[in-house]
Structure 1
Amino acid sequence: MQARDVKTVEDAIALVEARGLSHVKVGMSDIDGIMRGKYLSKDKFISALTSGFGFCNVVLGWDLNDQLYDNVQYTGWHTAYPDAWVRILPATCRDLPFEKVNGQDMLFFLCEFIEDAAAICPRNLLHRVLKRADNLGFAASAALEYEFFMFKESPESVREKNYHNLTPWTPGYFGYSVLRSTVENDFYHQLLGLCEQMDMGIEGLHTETGPGVLEAAIGVDSAEAAADKAFLFKTFTKVLAQRNNLMATFMAKWSHDYPGQSGHIHLSLKDKATGQSAFYDPSQKHNMSKTQRHFMAGVQKYLPEFMSMYAQTVNSYSRLVPGYWAPLDATWGLENRTTALRLIPGSSKSQRMEVRIGSADANPYVALAAALGSGLMGIEQELEPDEMVVGNAYTQSFPAHLKLPNTLWEAAQRFKGSEAARILFGDAFVEHFAATREWEEREFRRHVTDWELKRYFEII
């Protein structure tokens, strides 16, 4: 039996026994999309497969730098940080090619929080939205694609340089470069191979425009599996880079000199009753079915309210400036890469929409839950989209209701006040997530930036 053949608790136990492993690695997503996990002994792992296990709930109560939130209710000093209950998901089993034990690959399993922690668990959030789709008679498919910059640096060197004067993996603007990918083919093939081995296969990998930047399109799958693959991809791409004395960053915008880094989401729905695409109707313009039109309208309407789920950090909003391939309003267009939403017409297999607003730093479970949930609400409410944008959206003006928040603070307030968010995601998640975004903004406000020093130190 191979890792990706595991479907049940019994399969997982059999494979661990067959490989003679004394320990197994498990991981799960925190609020920011950082993978948190540990090794479990074989006996503990087997017990946890059937009964679950406790994991300190601080991972839902601290930020990406392990600083404790001071404004959330779910956990904190007032609760003394007890364990939250977690379940292991057998069907997520993967080999870890980096880790060999007695000649065998270490096994890795994803987990999710359950019981009271389920209400704010990012993976469980997506599961609840998918249940809504199921109740409406739809099965959702998704594919995520990421841009990320690579550097000839190490965790030590970037700190020694105070994150200044970093050396890109390759110099210059070489978008879609066969030269670069051929010269540096060793890493490309390592990444492609790793993604195949871990069942997060890449259907397209190329250089983007900018020094050392790549774009990877992960293959389409069911929405839940697609989110798992995106989550794994971001973590283990960084692992592979560091093992090659490189670093990869998924920051939304690491330098004002270069374009930002996106995390685009491709979405489609299938009618469960017929097994056919719910988005495809060849009798309609652009093959766009009524269902897809309502779905598009829902994503468009609620994008300003859900913006903090797509752009989760202060840095995310540095990317959202005119002329840098990032939309500024909740617009849609036909094969238009200047709009927030892109209609991609095609066959019954390929008809879909792309949510282009998201940045590479977003938690894939949270961003996908936002896109899918808002689209489903559009179907339920039979919403109609605003007029389609033709041409360059950056040079056009749009109604106020399409304007996106300019800052993380504003986005958090819109989210916290959203009735639709509370219906889709639950009060507990809305309150917790909004509070964590407010924390992120307040942490930023406590610090003095290099820009402020250069601008004000002498002259003001």
Structure 2
Amino acid sequence: MSIETQVIKDWLKQHQISEVEVLVPDMTGNARGKFIPAHQFLDQGEPRLPESIMVQSVTGEYCDEHWELVEPTDADMLLKPDPATMRVVPWAREPTAQIIHDCYTMGGELHPLSSRSVLRKVLDLYAAEGLRPVVAPEVEFYLVSRNTDPDNVLVPPKGRSGRAETSRMSYSMDAVSEFEDFVEDMYDYAEAQELCVDTLIHENGAAQMEINFLHGDAMELADQVFTFKRTVRETAHKHGVYATFMAKPMQIEPGSALHIHQSIVSVDSGENIFVDEKGEHTAAFLSYIAGLQHYTPELIALYAPNVNSYRRLAPDISAPINLNWGLDNRTTAFRVPQSAAAATRVENRFPGADANPYLAMAATLASGYLGMKRKLQPTAPHQGTANEDDVEVARTLEEGLRTLGDSPEVVEVFGELFLKAYAAVKLDEFEEFNRVISSWEREHLLLQV
């Protein structure tokens, strides 16, 4: 028995686990997998899943290119548990474990269609240079009243006062207290799963909240965001409301983001390579930002993966629309917060809350890596309000997918098969959405064109 297997076996026994959730993040960032009785989990060998689940759309459909992306026989993937992801499921009625698994081909290679494999590949590029990314995600979400009819618009839920929010309550302590029971249970669930959640604030939207995570390893934090989104949804169900990570769930409310703070440290020295001994920004720092500027248009579909995502990326104060960077400037896409020199970092404000956290982190870290490798140079830091400048990114999912994989260096990092599969799945979603006739069209075009 391997050391990892023994660690898992001991952990399951220690927590008296009766059932195991075998989890795999799919291309959309949702959990796929199976339930296995704990006594069978280690005895039956490595679990398997059909690789076709990696190329399903958000609606569960298969794209036209399905059999060009996976084996026509719909071959299995081997799943290998990552002991670092073992957590108790705090909302389960029976003692249940959740374990995130890596996907492998039957030949023993990391599966190229797995989003976790994509992030692992990017992190390996840094490791080969003696570097380690440090990230800190910020996740925004809305609480909304239960909505069982998709034709009805979403509305904020009533809080403990019996009233729904009708005004902007950014950073309001009283507004958070309206949902105190939800917040307490959410923190209890997070603590039970050892999630490194830090600050909770009320954001600008009605019943919109933001959770900040403590900085740490990119894979670990991607796993935690993946787990946290499940946790928030489960907590909301317990309290009779919905939690949504849609990028723009309500027309009159601001969008929800997954901001990613990032810095790079030397493995040998442990020092932040974005600053020198004098505390000044280094050439690596500037090239990293230049990489973000250069590759974001090509990778925007990983930050904004759904048709709804682009409703958030509109001329507005709450989301970026161009590639500017700035010092402590929240209107820019790439913000460098004011901090002590050792904590120098850049915040990528493009990813939406609906993004697959593994792919969003892979995209931002790959962009910075390629910027440093190619010694790209950024624009001057932006002064003033950046959202008064021209729009420089795609405004629809279809437009964003046109440029995905345009450069050979991006294809090399992400893999040609993955980029082809991602584009095929997302274009299928776009075309399905595009067939829906909206109420706006019926209102304004029915009798007037």
TM-score (normalised: structure 2): 0.93
Matched, 1:192 2:182: no
**Aligned partner (choices 222, 239, 243) of residue 234 of structure 2:** 239
**Aligned partner (choices 166, 171, 180) of residue 165 of structure 2:** 171
CA deviation after TM superposition for structure 1 residue 441, in Å: 1.3
Whole-Å separation in 1 of the counterparts to 2:214 and 2:15 = 29
Q: What CA deviation, in whole Å up to 9, does each residue of 1:301-335 have, x standing for no partner?
A: 11111111111011111111112411111111111
CA deviation after TM superposition for structure 1 residue 56, in Å: 2.1
Does the Cα contact within 8 Å between 1:260 and 1:324 map onto a contact in 2?
Answer: no
Matched, 1:363 2:352: no
Q: Which residue of 2 aligns with 1:437?
A: 426
Q: Which amino acid in 2 is paired with 1:452?
A: E
Does the Cα contact within 8 Å between 1:112 and 1:124 map onto a contact in 2?
Answer: yes
Q: Which amino acid in 1 is paired with 2:401?
A: A
Does the Cα contact within 8 Å between 1:204 and 1:216 map onto a contact in 2?
Answer: yes
Does the Cα contact within 8 Å between 1:87 and 1:113 map onto a contact in 2?
Answer: yes
Matched, 1:150 2:143: yes
Q: Which residue of 2 aligns with 1:111?
A: 101
Matched, 1:35 2:25: no
CA deviation after TM superposition for structure 1 residue 30, in Å: 0.6
Q: Which amino acid in 2 is paired with 1:256?
A: Q
Q: Which residue of 2 aligns with 1:314?
A: 307
CA deviation after TM superposition for structure 1 residue 176, in Å: 0.9
Q: Which residue of 2 aligns with 1:4?
A: none
Does the Cα contact within 8 Å between 2:322 and 2:389 map onto a contact in 1?
Answer: no
Whole-Å separation in 2 of the counterparts to 1:47 and 1:299 = 46
**Aligned partner (choices 290, 307, 310) of residue 283 of structure 2:** 290
Partner of 2:315, secondary structure, is coil
Aligned length: 438
CA deviation after TM superposition for structure 1 residue 253, in Å: 0.5
Q: Report sequence identity in percent.
A: 27
Matched, 1:56 2:50: yes
CA deviation after TM superposition for structure 1 residue 267, in Å: 0.6
Matched, 1:386 2:382: no
CA deviation after TM superposition for structure 1 residue 19, in Å: 4.1
Partner of 2:410, secondary structure, is helix
Q: Which amino acid in 2 is paired with 1:456?
A: L
Matched, 1:206 2:195: no
Matched, 1:418 2:370: no
Q: 1:198 to 1:18 in 2, by over 3 A?
A: closer
Q: 1:342 to 1:282 in 2, by over 3 A?
A: farther
Whole-Å separation in 2 of the counterparts to 1:345 and 1:382 = 24
CA deviation after TM superposition for structure 1 residue 182, in Å: 2.5
Does the Cα contact within 8 Å between 2:137 and 2:258 map onto a contact in 1?
Answer: yes
Q: Which amino acid in 2 is paired with 1:148?
A: F
Matched, 1:337 2:330: yes
Q: 1:347 to 1:183 in 2, by over 3 A?
A: same
Whole-Å separation in 1 of the counterparts to 2:125 and 2:231 = 31
Does the Cα contact within 8 Å between 2:405 and 2:419 map onto a contact in 1?
Answer: yes
Whole-Å separation in 2 of the counterparts to 1:410 and 1:66 = 23
Q: 1:379 to 1:315 in 2, by over 3 A?
A: same
Q: Where in structure 2 are there 5+ consecutive unaligned residues?
A: 159-163
Q: What CA deviation, in whole Å up to 9, does each residue of 1:240-279 have, x standing for no partner?
A: 1111111011111112211111111111111112111111
CA deviation after TM superposition for structure 1 residue 336, in Å: 0.9
TM-score (normalised: structure 1): 0.90
Q: Which amino acid in 2 is paired with 1:275?
A: G
Q: Which amino acid in 2 is paired with 1:244?
A: H
CA deviation after TM superposition for structure 1 residue 52, in Å: 2.3
Partner of 1:8, secondary structure, is helix
Whole-Å separation in 2 of the counterparts to 1:16 and 1:283 = 49
Q: What CA deviation, in whole Å up to 9, does each residue of 1:1-46 have, x standing for no partner?
A: xxxxxx8321211222344434211211110111112211234310
Partner of 2:351, secondary structure, is coil
**Aligned partner (choices 65, 71, 74) of residue 71 of structure 1:** 65
Q: What CA deviation, in whole Å up to 9, does each residue of 1:181-215 have, x standing for no partner?
A: 22422211111222122122221111111211111
CA deviation after TM superposition for structure 1 residue 125, in Å: 0.4
Whole-Å separation in 1 of the counterparts to 2:267 and 2:402 = 37
Whole-Å separation in 1 of the counterparts to 2:425 and 2:64 = 9
Whole-Å separation in 1 of the counterparts to 2:212 and 2:393 = 26
CA deviation after TM superposition for structure 1 residue 167, in Å: 4.3
Whole-Å separation in 1 of the counterparts to 2:85 and 2:301 = 28
Matched, 1:120 2:109: no
CA deviation after TM superposition for structure 1 residue 363, in Å: 0.2
Q: Which residue of 1 aligns with 2:258?
A: 263
Whole-Å separation in 1 of the counterparts to 2:339 and 2:276 = 10
Q: Which residue of 1 aligns with 2:225?
A: 230
Q: What CA deviation, in whole Å up to 9, does each residue of 1:104-161 have, x standing for no partner?
A: x3211111211267111001100000000001110111111111110131xxxx2236
Matched, 1:221 2:220: no
Q: Which residue of 2 aligns with 1:87?
A: 80
Matched, 1:130 2:123: yes
Q: Which amino acid in 2 is paired with 1:268?
A: S
Q: Which residue of 1 aligns with 2:439?
A: 450
Does the Cα contact within 8 Å between 1:145 and 1:264 map onto a contact in 2?
Answer: yes
Partner of 1:118, secondary structure, is coil
Q: Which amino acid in 1 is paired with 2:53?
A: V
Q: Which residue of 1 aligns with 2:90?
A: 97
Does the Cα contact within 8 Å between 1:85 and 1:117 map onto a contact in 2?
Answer: no
What do you get for the CA RMSD once the two structures are aligned?
1.9
CA deviation after TM superposition for structure 1 residue 73, in Å: 4.6
Partner of 1:52, secondary structure, is coil
Q: 1:161 to 1:55 in 2, by over 3 A?
A: closer
**Aligned partner (choices 15, 21, 24) of residue 25 of structure 1:** 21
Does the Cα contact within 8 Å between 1:84 and 1:117 map onto a contact in 2?
Answer: no
CA deviation after TM superposition for structure 1 residue 348, in Å: 4.6
Partner of 1:232, secondary structure, is helix
Matched, 1:15 2:5: no
Whole-Å separation in 1 of the counterparts to 2:436 and 2:344 = 46
Does the Cα contact within 8 Å between 2:141 and 2:256 map onto a contact in 1?
Answer: yes
CA deviation after TM superposition for structure 1 residue 453, in Å: 1.6
Q: What CA deviation, in whole Å up to 9, does each residue of 1:79-107 have, x standing for no partner?
A: 24332222111121011111243xxx321
